[in-house]
Chains A and B, each alone.
Chain A
Amino acid sequence: MDFREKLISAKDRVKLPDVSRRQLLVGGAAAGGLLVAWTLWPRNYATTLVPGEAEADFGGWLTIGRDGVVTVAIPQLEMGQGVTTLLAQIAAVELGADWRQVGAEPVMPSGLFPNLPLAADWAPLWANFPSLADTPDAWLVDRFASAQAFNATAAGTSLAAYEMPLRIAAASARDMLVRAAAERWDVVPEECEVADGFVRHATGGALRFGELVDEARELDPPDPAPLRPQAAFEQPVLGEADAQTSFPRIDLPSKVDGSHLFAGDIRLPGMVFASIRHGPVGLPELFRFDADAVAGMRGLVGVVKSKRWLAAVAESWWIADQALSRMRAHFTGPGALEQAVLDTDLERASEQREELAERIVEVGDPDAMLENAAFVRRYEIAPAVHAPLETASATARFVDGRLELWMASQMPSLAREAAAKAIGISAEDVVLYPVAAGGSFDARLDKQHAIEIAQIAVEIGRPVQLTWSRVQDLQAVPPRAPATADMAAVTGADGQPLAWRARVTTPPFMREMGHRLFDNLVPEAARAESRGEADELAVAGGMPPYGISDVAVDHVPASIRLPVTRMRGGAEAMTAFFTECFIDELAAEAGRDPFLYRMALLGGAPRMAECLRRATRLGEWDGARSGSGQGVAMVRMGSDPQTAGHIACVAQAGMGGGGARVTRLSATVDIGRIVNLDIARQQIEGGLVFGLSLALGSSVRFENGHPVPRNMGALGLPRLADCPDIVVDFISSDAEPFDPGELGVAVAAPAIANALFAATGLRMRRLPLLSEGL
């Protein structure tokens, strides 16, 4: 469906409503419980907190039961990043609940839970006129995100999107509980306090939430909601990394005993299991297969073929997968991708960069200054696979024209719509039960498996579960885009950069992803549709945080024959590699300490400078003398320096018998106000490990359209024994909170590359490092 035209008609634009004044809806959702929900202009959206017998309209942001249990709606996908705990904590703190009385419930997509900041960030991917939709409070953004039930989980937007709505809902609930208690005690509400799940009065009265809900639900919601002066906040204490957390993650007990259900763990009566084969890259269409090879095969339930895949369905996944192997599916198309072709495509685009380059950012007049005597370097990034441990999986049941779908999706409303369209029913007849993802790293933005499971379920007529094999997950999830950067600078008398240009040759991978996700195009069509287009999101973060008077960031849109996409860290993780390796080379050229060289350029970025200074202290910086094995890198993420996230990292690395070995990563982080310190620490640690995996492995080559290697073991992914000592410090700050999930990913690779230069004297300008040998 193309919602773009619908959204932009002039008729609509004249009646701009005041969207900041949403109405609260209060009622009794669960028996005797208190429900706090929103109604949204222009229509009421079905709320989805408590899926009931017939998915009737009830639910909202949070409910409180007579037993005192507080249930918080989680409209974001839990992928391990801790969002379930984070959002529940925000509501609990605002409400004044005891953490042990708080539960969380993932909710189905609904217009009630729009992710406005992400819709604004990604406006170029869905809006005809992105300039009308570039801020979260733009009317067009609200209209789009609400109407499309756009509650996508990506790019670190969860807090920005959901903290305030949750706080308002919880503050409203608290206010009503207080008024109910005050009425009972015949005191003024202002004399009551709420903490630990009780409303208390100075005279000694104390009532549980559960005792008050029946009266509270009869009251009108407050307007405005009386927010507490301080949002949820944890103070980092230096050297106290091991301190007990006050808000332990609520998803861990079920994860430690195997009872946490992922999409492939759903079991339904009469359910059967499906495996699938897709064509190699460049041969997308099913050509032929040997159906006779599985005739009479024990346990086989059926074979389902589609234009683009072949699936077998059986009593166990193993039988289904064996059946597929026997049927030897062949695929056809324009031609299987070979590595040489991929390299040539990128090389050709890079050679034509003068003609193809589109200027994305320009400050001053760098081209004039760069005309001659520029210091130039080229960096490369190979395609990298996401390789989450859970492969694409989904479970479905199709009964009476209605599809139930269990899956982990970062874009559930679009997955639901795609599944509906694939089998010719309306999206309202698809119920998507959100289940947690076993990692994603943005692999689960895509939704092919939603379409496939829908078609298989209809064809087979029984509940069915689809699990992609590892090979299929490596092959059919588009990898992170390859890129080449031609960096140029002119330096002054003391070696500092006066002009800087980053010219990045990469496919317009964000636009391509947008066509797959928002327009439901197949990978080849999405690639064709975005071909040759400049893509500002594909070079995001290209603007260095340094004080340089003349700067340009160019995008050279490469046309390659490989479908590509985003990965955790985003374009910022790619541009950070270019920027931070290049600045390191400039420092070396100037014969300066790379830390002090950077500091001299950070006069206008005090938070970044402080972060960098403290990271070098934490990492016992020794000036990166030759042979030291120490390297430094820093990243500022976010377009507005006031609300940006900052990380600086000192890496210690060297060459060992088995190749590069990273022994220590010391990072200092400024993410503004920290909601949950230990989850933030997990995210930085995990980000650094993921960045390490991209620095030293994760890449694939293509042979005959197949990614090589075809297994997890040969991808060079770090294991426990390879994990460096990781030390993380947080800077105390009351700036706007910034999501910590992608910072570590971006900073690790350049820090490690710079450390290997200090260790070996060799500059490695290609990711993964050492992929071309020494």
Chain B
Amino acid sequence: MSRMTVNDRPVEFLMDDDTPLLWALRDAANLTGTKYGCGTGDCGSCMVHIDGEPLRSCLVTIGEAEGRFVTTIEGLSGDRSHPVQQALVAEQAIQCGFCTPGIVMAAAALINRNPGASEADIKAAVPNLCRCGVYPRLVSAIQRAGRVARRQERISAAPAPGISSEDAAREVPALAAPPEESGRPEPEDR
């Protein structure tokens, strides 16, 4: 029996205690933002926060996570508002995006603790593998996130999900809110 708090909700996984947290999150909780890249702790794609610490969820069993507070990428901000999320989008420090959730979680744990992190701090705190090669942008992006966290700068690069058509139309003159009755348009010309 493995009970814990995941993204502020109480959860009990009906799985063997030795199941890696990664697979409980992905396959049982459908929290698929946490990625499988290696299963051996090498790549960092599966990083989550456990009691605020960035840990590789492929190396932690749900038995070991019993009673702890787990935060996944889905629960980090809910609306992409964490400074690290905004900064990675603003600096376009993302390519394929597969390693991104893990990098966000590693960097967010650092910035939450130390928004003034130095280049050396950042390099030590982000061991994640990225094969597309976003590294050249990561240090400045994470330092920028630190400035946002310290209220020295603001970024609005990644809009919150689920913006209504009405709100979009207010922001973008070329858009119009659709009339009430129409939902997603249906094909009519077959």
Contacts and interface: CB of A to CB of B under 8 A. Distances in A.
Interface string A60-72: 0000011111000
A251 B173 contact: no
A250 to B, nearest CB: 11
Contacts of A717: 129, 131
A717 B133 CA distance: 11
A8 interface: no
Given A470-B39, A713-B42, A256 B15 contact: no
A255 interface: yes
Among B134, B135, B178, the one with the most A-chain Cβ atoms within 10 Å of its Cβ is B135
Interface stretch (A431-439, A579-587, A602-610): A431-439
Nearest to A245: B92
B176 A258 contact: no
Contacts of B32: 258, 261, 264-265, 267
Contacts of B37: 389-391, 470, 712
Contact of B185 (A30, A299, A687): A30
Interface in A20-75: 27-33, 35, 50, 52-53, 56-58, 65-69
A298 interface: yes
A773 B33 CA distance: 40
Contacts of B76: 257
B10 interface: no
Given A98-B173, A208-B174, A31 B23 contact: no
Contacts of B159: 253
Contacts of A679: 92
A298 B41 CA distance: 26
A33 B184 CA distance: 12
B59 interface: no
Nearest to B134: A686
A551 B182 CA distance: 67
B38 interface: yes
B176 A256 contact: no
B158 A467 contact: no
A267 B173 contact: no
A388 B131 contact: yes
Contacts of A723: 135-136
B146 interface: no
B20 interface: yes
Interface in B152-169: 157-159, 161, 165, 168-169
A682 B80 CA distance: 22
Interface stretch (A315-323, A342-350, A359-367, A553-561): A315-323
A770 B182 CA distance: 64
A68 B40 contact: no
Contacts of A98: 172-175
Contact of B172 (A100, A388, A686, A711): A100
Contacts of B123: 720-721
Given A256-B158, A257-B80, A317-B23, A30 B187 contact: yes
B133 A689 contact: yes
B43 interface: yes
A319 to B, nearest CB: 8
A720 B139 contact: yes
Contacts of B138: 720
A100 B174 contact: yes
Contacts of A29: 187-189
Nearest to A54: B190
A159 to B, nearest CB: 17
Contacts of A253: 80, 89, 158-159, 161
Nearest to B91: A242
Interface string A294-338: 000011000000000000000111110000000000000000000
B70 interface: no
B18 to A, nearest CB: 9
Interface in A681-737: 682, 685-690, 693, 711-713, 717-721, 723, 725-726
B128 interface: yes
A255 B172 contact: no
Contact of B98 (A82, A262, A686): A262
A592 interface: no
A317 B26 contact: yes
B5 interface: no
A261 B33 CA distance: 8
Given A65-B185, A258-B73, A711-B38, A318 B98 contact: no
Contacts of A32: 185
A97 B138 CA distance: 32
A79 B132 CA distance: 9
A536 to B, nearest CB: 29
Contacts of A721: 123-124, 127
A211 interface: yes
B21 to A, nearest CB: 10
A720 B135 contact: yes
B42 A389 contact: no
Nearest to B77: A257
Give me the 10 closest cross-chain CB pairs, A-B, nearest first: A258-B33, A197-B174, A80-B96, A438-B98, A689-B133, A255-B97, A686-B133, A80-B95, A713-B42, A258-B73
Given A252-B158, A258-B32, A316-B28, 8 more contacts: A56-B190, A80-B97, A100-B172, A197-B175, A253-B159, A254-B161, A256-B158, A723-B135
Interface of B: 15-16, 19-20, 23-24, 26-28, 30-43, 45, 72-74, 76-77, 80, 85, 88-89, 92, 94-101, 104, 122-124, 126-139, 157-159, 161, 165, 168-169, 171-178, 182, 185-190
20 contacts: A30-B188, A52-B186, A58-B189, A80-B96, A82-B95, A98-B174, A100-B175, A101-B175, A208-B173, A254-B161, A273-B27, A317-B27, A318-B23, A387-B131, A389-B43, A436-B96, A686-B132, A718-B135, A719-B127, A720-B127
